[in-house]
Amino acid sequence: MLFNSFVFLLAFLPTALVLHAGVERYRPDWRLPLLFALSLVFYGWWDWRFLPLLVVSIALNWLIARALPRRAYTWLFPAALAGNLVVLAAFKYLGFLADLANLIPGLSLPHLDLVLPLGISFFTFHHIMYLSDLRAGRAPALGLTKYALYIAFFPQVLAGPLVRWSEIVHQFDERPYRRPDAAERIGRGLVLLVVGLSKKVFLGDPLAAYVNPVFQAATAGQSVTAAEAWQATLGFTFQIYFDFSGYTDMALGIALLFGIVLPQNFDVPYRATSLRDFWRRWHMTLSRFLRDYLYIPLGGNRRGLAMQVGALFVTMTLGGLWHGAGLTFVAWGAAHGLGLGAGVLWRRAGGRMPAPLGWALTAAFVVLTWVLFRAPTFEAALTIYKGLFGLAEPGAGFKWRTILFAALVAIVGPSAWAAIHGLPPRRPLAVACAVLFVVILLKIGDDANYEFIYFQF
């Protein structure tokens, strides 16, 4: 069920809100079971066959969490961690690993591609975060209902944000509609939902029409002109931002309607003046996860410069692999690991850089590496790079107006989170949002709906 679909906007969400409001008022002890049931309906709507995977995953990890504090079971945490990663690998990386193994002379393993369950990367990481914190003594034992809702809460189960248990579990015990700021929260949630839909429908999806044909041509081995290469690369740079940040805005807004505050995930990333600054602004909850649960356990910056640079490289390479089962994703992550390592060396050497130059270099690096992220093969990426660096026909017809407008919104404008929390509640704002929502519905009904890019991860 897509956030940008009629069935969600006009059926599921209104029904869920009415049921939640009634339960919250008359039977507050039913609130959490209701939210979990709604989450199962939302998840199963896409493909009910994967519901058992989600339910069994929750049940097994909860049972492991119950047993984890016992000293006799010291083997349980590594076994649970390995088990979660094996399930993720089986669905997401089986074919990729077989292809890698077939590079060894004499091996000929079959290429098996299982259907990828939606959200498996995200709910697997949620399991890992909670079990890691429980083992370290930072997390409390949770009842089954709270743990299940933490994992499966429908606004964030498919594509994040990656939420720590400490950011959400304490909110499960609240009576959200009895808060003095309840009306304001609902208003801000509705505005976030409309803004996120606008980013997806009016900016992200139109850019896909400039991006997809060019990368499809490059993948098919066709030539790509310089104009097409720049159009596709710049178009994807802003398409993925508006697509994913739009989804996040919607997720945060929908959660607010049910009385849950989720963490911010984007903070104007294309305004970053260094690569480190970019990763503090882009997909912030994933960056935090990689830092706390991979980079720091690998040594972080506590074991010398060589270990720090190596830990950055390994962390970002694995982060690239998390995004997709392909060597281009690995190369994208490795490139960012090398870039972050170069930044560490630069700072250790006492290097200084004017902010405008830092922004230009960071933007150029991020834009160029997005090619690896988007291209399904190195051959396709090379074709695009040839166009970018003038090794192809110049071409014509660069669609600059939409890209320029998207760039101005992404770089000059504030984040949706900051803007909406800075706006005072006013009736004209409510009317404008209502009108915009109607226009969005007309647009959704008129055009093809694109899935969110991060659903594939």
The values of phi and psi at residue 235, to 5°, are: -60, -45
**Six token digits for residue 151:** 């994992």
CA–CA dist 95, 400 (Å, integer): 39
323 is catalytic: yes
Please identify which of the residues 20, 126, 283, 323 carries the catalytic annotation: 323
Can the peptide bond before residue 28 be classed as cis, meaning omega within 30 degrees of 0? Answer: no
CA–CA dist 67, 76 (Å, integer): 8
CB 266 within 8 A of CB 245: yes
The values of phi and psi at residue 129, to 5°, are: -60, -45
| CA 131-135-138 angle, 5° bins | 90
CB 151 within 8 A of CB 127: yes
**324 half-sphere exposure, CB direction, 13 A CA radius:** 18
| CA 271-272-277 angle, 5° bins | 150
CA–CA dist 227, 394 (Å, integer): 6
Report which residue type is found at 444: I
Active-site annotation, residues = 323
